Amino acid sequence: MLLQGKAWKFGADVDTDAIIPARYLNTSEPEELAKHCMEDADPAFPDKVRPGDIIVAGKNFGCGSSREHAPIAIKAAGVSCVIARSFARIFYRNAFNIGLPIFESPEAAEAIGEGDEVAVDVRQGVIKNLTRGEEYRATPVPEFMQQIITAGGLINYVAERLRTPEAGGPT
C-alpha cells in the first residue's frame, strides 16, 4: 500500500485537545469532527487539508486524553497517515483501531518540511520525501495491522473475519 500527499507540519506534544478540541466532543460523527480537526493548532487546517495529505509531527503526538475522536477526526479530514518522532501509546492503539496508519520515524519527522510531497510505503516502512529527494525508514506496519487498516478499522476487520470462512469465520 502506497500513501502520498502534502505534508502538514506540527511540533512536539500535540495533545488530543489540539487535534479535536473538547468543545466538539458532543458528536462522534466523523464528518463533523473533520471540520474542526487541528483547528486549535492551525485554525485554517480544516480548510487547507486535502485527501491523501500527511501530518508530520514531533515527539509524543496524541498525548493527553484517550479519546478515539482524535484519530477519527484526522482520518475523516482526509489525512492518509501521520508520521511523528513518537506517539502516545493510547493514540497509537486508537489510530490503528479506526484504520489510520501511523509511522514512528525521528529522522522523517525532523527532515520533512511543511508542504513537502511525501510518499509512504506501508508494507516496507519506507518514507520518501519527493520534494527533497530523500528517503527515511520507519518500522513497517505488521501484516495483521495492515489488514486492520485495509478493512477500515478493527470493527470492520473483525466483522469481515466473522463473515469469511477462509479467514476463520463460520463455515
Does 106 map to a domain?
Answer: yes
Domain count, the chain: 1
Does 149 map to a domain?
Answer: yes
Does 137 map to a domain?
Answer: yes
Separation CA 157–CA 138 (nearest Å): 24
In this prediction, residues 20-27 reach a mean pLDDT of 92
Separation CA 47–CA 54 (nearest Å): 15
Q: How high does pLDDT run on average in the chain?
A: 93
Residue 14 CB burial class (10 angstroms; 0-12, 13-18, ≥19): buried
The reported pTM is 0.92
Does 153 map to a domain?
Answer: yes
Q: What is the CATH number of the domain that holds 113?
A: 3.20.19.10
CB 85 within 8 A of CB 110: yes
Does 83 map to a domain?
Answer: yes
Q: Cβ neighbours of residue 154 under 8 Å, at least 6 residues apart?
A: 96, 97, 98, 99, 148
Does 169 map to a domain?
Answer: no
In this prediction, residues 118-138 reach a mean pLDDT of 96
Q: Which domain holds residue 134?
A: 2-163
- Residue holding cell 480544516? 46
Does 107 map to a domain?
Answer: yes
Give the pLDDT confidence score for residue 171 in this predicted structure.
Answer: 52
Q: Residue 170's pLDDT band (boundaries 50, 70, 90)?
A: low
Does 129 map to a domain?
Answer: yes
Would strands 117-121 and 2-9 be described as parallel, antiparallel, or unpaired? antiparallel
Separation CA 53–CA 60 (nearest Å): 20
